[in-house]
């Protein structure tokens, strides 16, 4: 069920250059939110005709919803000025999220903003390993939050400034080979840029293991009416805000 709530802002702080955590009181949505779902937020200082902005959910518990965002345009710049104690209009939960259970080890593969729904997911699953990559160590987000959860992390950077030097699929493939050698089951979960999503999809299909792919598309209405967030699938064109943003690997056509 979707809810519209006038939510009190509890926190809106910068944690890295241009990146911020926004936490609001939204008890109805927090109670039903599933990892991988998203919310639409109306920025109060913009004109009433301005569209809501979609955000992946970083965390939802105890009546609170947290999103991770970056100041990239007029809407998020305005959102960054909202102070604790003020209110925003928030709508959710929206979209189809990740499954609630995993058969074996959950291999979480993220890039950039993709760590947001993976953090929420890691809190729900008993055993997971995070594979996170970026061009430099400055592109790696929320590592302290995953560390606080006790999640094992495999970090990679293109320039070698932190962790494995190269793409994130390097340590991912190594771990997959180790798990297969031990006969351990695993599933793949990913969110990030299309190149990463395609690489994880290919591995899930080749290995015949479950793969859950969160596709990032520009969502305008969030209700499936505008058809702006189309992803090609085996069923034809699917709307990420309704049929996704999480798809099974075998559903996607790249």
Grade residue 221 by pLDDT with cuts at 50, 70 and 90: confident
Strand-pair category, 105-111 with 186-191: parallel
Q: What is the pLDDT of residue 49?
A: 47
Three-class DSSP labels, the chain:
CCEEEEEEEEEEEEEECCEEEEEEECHHHHHHCCCCCEEEEECCCCCCCCCCEEEEEEEEECCEEEEEEECCCHHHHHHCCCCCCCEEEEEEEECECCCCCCCCEEEEEEEHHHHHHHHHHHHHCCCEEEEEEECCHHHCCCHHHHHHHCCEEEEEECCCCCCEECCCHHHHHHHHHHHHHHCCCEEEEEECCHHHHHHHHHHHHHHCCCEEEECCCCCCCCCCCCCCCEEEECCEEEECCCCCEEEEHHHECC
d(CA 86, CA 7): 8
Instruction: List pLDDT tens digits, range 184-207.
Output: 999 999 999 999 999 999 999 999
Please report the pLDDT score of residue 122 as a whole number.
97
Mean pLDDT along residues 49-72: 90
Q: For the chain, which domains are there? A: 3-94 (2.40.30.10), 105-251 (3.40.50.80)
Residues 119 and 97 sit within 8 Å (Cβ to Cβ): no
Q: What is the pLDDT of residues 110-148, one digit of tens each?
A: 998 899 999 999 999 999 999 999 999 988 999 999 999
Judge contact between 114 and 131, C-beta under 8 A. no
Confidence class for position 223, pLDDT limits 50, 70, 90:
confident
Higher-confidence position of 238 and 17: 238
For the question of whether the overall pTM of this predicted structure is more than 0.75, the answer is yes
């Amino acid at each position: 069920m979707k809810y519209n709530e006038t939510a009190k802002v509890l926190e809106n702080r910068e944690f890295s250059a241009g990146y911020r955590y926004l936490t609001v009181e939204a008890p109805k949505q927090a109670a039903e939110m599933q990892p991988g779902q998203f919310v639409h937020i109306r920025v109060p200082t913009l004109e009433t005709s301005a569209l809501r902005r979609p955000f992946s959910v970083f965390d939802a518990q105890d009546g609170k919803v947290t999103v991770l965002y970056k100041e990239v345009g007029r809407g998020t710049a305005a959102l960054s000025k909202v102070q604790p104690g003020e209110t925003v209009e928030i709508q959710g939960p929206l979209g189809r999220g990740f499954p609630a259970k995993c058969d074996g080890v959950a291999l979480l593969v993220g890039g950039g903003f993709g760590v947001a729904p993976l953090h929420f997911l890691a809190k729900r699953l008993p055993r997971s390993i995070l594979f996170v990559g970026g061009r430099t160590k400055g592109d790696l987000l929320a590592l302290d939050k995953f560390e606080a959860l006790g999640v094992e992390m495999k970090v990679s950077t293109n320039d070698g400034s932190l962790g494995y030097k190269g793409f994130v699929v390097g340590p991912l493939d190594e771990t997959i080979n180790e798990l297969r050698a031990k006969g351990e089951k695993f599933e793949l979960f990913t969110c990030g840029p299309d190149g990463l999503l395609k690489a994880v999809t290919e591995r899930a299909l080749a290995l015949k293991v479950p793969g859950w792919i969160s596709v990032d598309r520009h969502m305008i209405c969030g209700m499936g009416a505008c058809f702006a967030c189309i992803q090609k699938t085996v069923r034809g064109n699917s709307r990420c805000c309704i049929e996704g943003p999480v798809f099974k690997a075998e559903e996607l056509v790249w």
